Amino acid sequence: MIEKLEDFRKQLDELDQKLSDPDVMKDMGKYKNLMLERSHLVPIVEELSNLKTLTENLADNENLAREEDEELAAMAKEEIPLLKEQIEQCEKRCKMLLIPPDPLEGKNIIMEIRAGTGGEEAALFASDLYRMYSYYAESMHWKIEEIDSNPTELGGYKEIILSINGKDVYGSLRWESGVHRVQRVPETESGGRIHTSAVTVAVLPEAEETEVDIRQEDLRIDVMRAGGPGGQCVNTTESAVRITHIPTGLVVICQNQKSQLQNRVEAMRVLRSRLYDLEAGKKAKERAEERKSQVGSGDRSERIRTYNFPQNRLTDHRINLTLYKLDLIMEGQLQDVIEALKVAAGEAALKEAT
Cα 345 to Cα 290: distance, rounded to the nearest angstrom = 9
Among the listed residues 40, 39, 44, the one whose alpha carbon sits nearest the alpha carbon of residue 7: 44
- DSSP three-state, residue 20: coil
Domains 109-206+290-353 and 211-284 share a fold: no
d(CA 240, CA 161): 15
Q: What is the mean pLDDT of residues 161-173?
A: 92
Torsion of CA 232, 235, 239, 240, to 10 degrees: 120
pLDDT confidence band for 161 (50 / 70 / 90): very high
Return d(Cα 352, Cα 350) in angstroms, integer: 5
In what order do the strands lie in the sheet containing 250-254? 219-224, 240-245, 250-254
Measure the CA–CA gap between 218 and 10, rounded to whole angstroms. 48
pLDDT digits (tens, 9 = 90+) for 104-142: 888 899 999 999 988 899 999 999 999 999 999 999 999
Lowest-pLDDT choice from 32-36, 49-53, 206-210, 303-307: 206-210
Per residue in 174-189, pLDDT (tens digit) is: 999 999 999 998 876 6
Quickly list DSSP for 169-185.
HHHHHGGG-EEEEEEE-
CATH number of 211-284: 3.30.160.20
- Mean pLDDT confidence for 34-43: 87
Amino acid identity at 151: P
Reported as a pLDDT band with limits 50, 70 and 90, residue 297 is very low
Question: CA-to-CA distance for 150 and 159, rounded, in angstroms?
Answer: 5
CA 87/CA 78 separation, integer angstroms = 15
Q: What is the mean pLDDT of the chain?
A: 86
CB 343 within 8 A of CB 175: no
DSSP conformation class of 113: E
DSSP code per residue over 182-222: EEE--TT-SS---EEEEEEEEEEEPPPGGGS---GGGEEEE
In the chain, what are the domain boundaries?
2-98, 109-206+290-353, 211-284
| Residue of 221, 279, 232 lying closest to 254 (CA atoms) | 221
pLDDT of residue 114: 95
Task: Estimate the crossing angle of helix 28-64 against helix 5-19, to 10 degrees.
Answer: 150
Q: Rounded to whole angstroms, how far apart are CA atoms 48 and 90?
A: 8
Q: Confirm if 321 and 340 have CB atoms less than 8 A apart.
A: yes
Distance of alpha carbon 280 from alpha carbon 78, whole angstroms: 52
Question: Has residue 233 got a pLDDT over 50?
Answer: no
Q: Which residue has the higher pLDDT, 190 or 326?
A: 326
- Residue that wins the pLDDT comparison between 200 and 68: 200
- The CATH number corresponding to 109-206+290-353 among 3.30.70.1660, 3.30.950.10, 3.30.379.10, 3.90.1150.10 equals 3.30.70.1660
